Amino acid sequence: MVFNSYTFIAFFLIILFLHNLPLSWKTKKINLLLASYIFYAAWNPPFILLLWLSTVIDFFVGRALYTQENHYKKKMLLIVSLIGNLGMLVFFKYGTFLLENFVALCNAIGFDYHPAEPNIILPAGISFYTFTTLCYTIDMYQKRSEPVKSLLDFSLFVTFFPHLVAGPIVRPPQLVPQFEWPRKASLKQMTDGLLLLTLGLFMKVVLADSMLSATANSVFESKDLLPTLDAWIGVFAFSGQIFLDFAGYSTCAIGVALCLGFVLPQNFNYPYAAIGFSDFWKRWHITLSTWLRDYLYIPLGGNRHGKIRTYFALMATMLLGGLWHGANWTFVAWGGLHGIYLWIERYLKDRRHAAHSHKEPSDTIEVRRHPWISFFYALLTFMLINITWVFFRADTFGKSWQLLQSMFGLVGEGKALLTTLAILKVSIIVPLIVLFHWFMRNTKVLNVAYKLSWFWISLVWSTLVLMIIWAQESGSSFIYFQF
């Protein structure tokens, strides 16, 4: 079941009705849990067992980790949890990938090995709920928070349908306390939630699917060399599509949860206004980047053990972050390129600090950049990020290299692919996205909405709804469902 479907609208109305009935809080939580399982079962019902098994194991292992005083037994429990969670993730998501690479390696060294092709189905959202349960058991091991008292609350924490399939990736302290006491949306929360849901659907259905996806697909699926303009337009189209698609989902998820009285963490903060790549990762897929920082980068040493260790931790984090997105070496290259960007940024920052270290304290205060200079850096960051999207979207390195050649004019001009209308749509929408991000980079869309009169809110809101209805037939599944 997807947010951009009439089935979900009917499902959501039923959930809202049940949640606002004068029932006990435990009954309402059971309703939400059952609804979450129904929501997940819409993809493949048997995988509910996998989700349930992961939930139950981590609930009891987490409690044992928190109370266990024997260091050896505690480590064994953590290893059991890691093997259980990561084992399922590796098998279902990376099983075919690992087998293909093993076969390629065997054939490369002279062994003629051709096993039967595996038929492994990827469970929806396994990367997201695996990280959700992993952070719980790791937190219990380190005693960062207390164990969840109720299996019902923990099950709802893991499976709560707004965030289940594609995030935001929630931590126990962010959501579990909200299940302890009765919650029902206030009028303001209901209004804000419905507005966010409408905005998220507009981003996904109207802009990402109707306006940009066809152009991106045409360019990335083309087998021919392209004119430079067509290549860049296709990459810009995907750049806009991936943001609008994923941020649209997160906005819908936050809005749906808010309509039920629950608050989910922010997942995007106008990333195309980022000034530099560390700033980009503070704004893009925030719950993933903070998860990688807290559970991978810092345990690998972070910036506490010298420059070499810091650079190693940065690259390892980004490579594994790339692999998290998909079982393909192109995703690893995408993560590695971001790692190189962060390396260069870190190196320049270290040099700048070293150059100022011998000066008087008053001279070390960084002067605020002129807005136009900051905007130039934001544009430079955006352009370099677009290069990384080539590896994210392309299926093979050959296709990536072919497209990069076309983008930078390293080959002769290919045959024109895109229509004038397609080029105009991307040339208007993507710059507007960047400008919108820039002017909104330090505020929130709801804060802007609060300043508008009801007349203007009603006009904009009704326009968005009408455009969603008009474009609904072009809607497709969210991109991040495959991760």
- Residue 321's nearest CA partner among 292, 287, 301 is 292
Report which DSSP code applies to 95: H
Q: Is the dihedral of CA 394, 398, 403, 404 positive or negative?
A: positive
Tokens of residue 206, six digits = 């109207």
Q: How far apart are CA 401 and CA 398, in angstroms?
A: 5
Q: How many CA atoms lie within 13 A of 10 on its CB side?
A: 5
- DSSP helix, strand, coil percent of the chain (3-state; round to 5): 75, 0, 25
Q: How far apart are CA 378 and CA 384, in angstroms?
A: 10
Tokens of residue 45, six digits = 């019902």
How crowded is residue 53: how many other Cβ atoms within 10 Å of its Cβ?
12
* Longest CA–CA separation in the chain, Å: 73
Report which DSSP code applies to 481: G
Q: How far apart are CA 250 and CA 401, in angstroms?
A: 32
Q: How far apart are CA 137 and CA 80, in angstroms?
A: 10
Q: What's phi and psi for 18, nearest 5 deg?
A: -65, -35
DSSP secondary structure string for all residues of 132-176? HHHHHHHHHHHTSSPPPS-HHHHHHHHH-HHHHTT-----HHHHG
How crowded is residue 145: how many other Cβ atoms within 10 Å of its Cβ?
15
What angle (nearest 5°) sits at the alpha carbon of residue 49, between those of residues 59 and 250? 75
> Catalytic one among 19, 163, 285, 325?
325
- Contact in structure between 125 and 166 (CB atoms under 8 Å): yes
Catalogue the long-range contacts made by 55-58 (C-beta closer than 8 Å, 24 or more residues apart): 55/133, 55/154, 55/155, 55/158, 55/159, 56/151, 57/81, 57/84, 58/84, 58/85, 58/133, 58/136, 58/137, 58/154, 58/158
Active site residue 325: yes
Could you list the active site residues? Answer: 325
